[in-house]
Structure 1
Amino acid sequence: MAALRALRKSKTLQYGVPMMLLIIGGSFGLREFTQIRYDAHKLHCKVDPALEERIKKNQVTLESEYEKLKDSSLDDWKNIRGPRPWEDSKSFQEQQR
């Protein structure tokens, strides 16, 4: 009986054991909740096979874009600034051109 009283008054049993249970149990709980998140993300990101084929067929590569821009003249470009918030955007852009 005296040993039980001593164990109940022990700071380790009173505060340490519940804290360890909370930390260990929390890690298992967090693992389950994060797994649900990743599983839901996998289900949500599935793509229609027909759409996937269209995406693969219309691949734009860096080389193809380079070929388009290779022949264009970049020496005669004009820098047009955007309008200020207090300026009318349409009329200002017409003036700049």
Structure 2
Amino acid sequence: MGGPFASKSFNATRANSIAAKYRRLLQKRPFLLFGLPFLTTIVGGSFMLTPATALRYERHDKKNQRMSQDEALGIGKNRRKVDMKEEFYRLQAKDIDNWEQKRVKRLKGEIDGILE
């Protein structure tokens, strides 16, 4: 006749069930029963997630501020310290008027720019 599931009906099809009443009221007032709860959830979630997001970024900033100035400049333990005055005098002592131009060896097949 109706098969093995004919005697079991879905609760939403019953006239007095909560789901059927909700569907009828939803057709009369869709914004009140669907739109308003949806917008409330979105706005409320935004207010709830704002402090959590701020906390996340504050922790990230604190972690990055712990780096020393040397680490920020990329100077490690095994590199020499740079003193600007020392570098200035070292470069000033070099003879920059006497220098020789050296060509870089080119790879095979690469154009070297020499006109023959």
* Structure possessing the higher relative contact order (Cα contacts under 8 Å, 6 or more residues apart): 1
Could you state the TM-score of these two structures normalised by the residue count of structure 1? 0.48
More helix per residue: 1
Quick check: which has more Rg, 1 or 2? 2
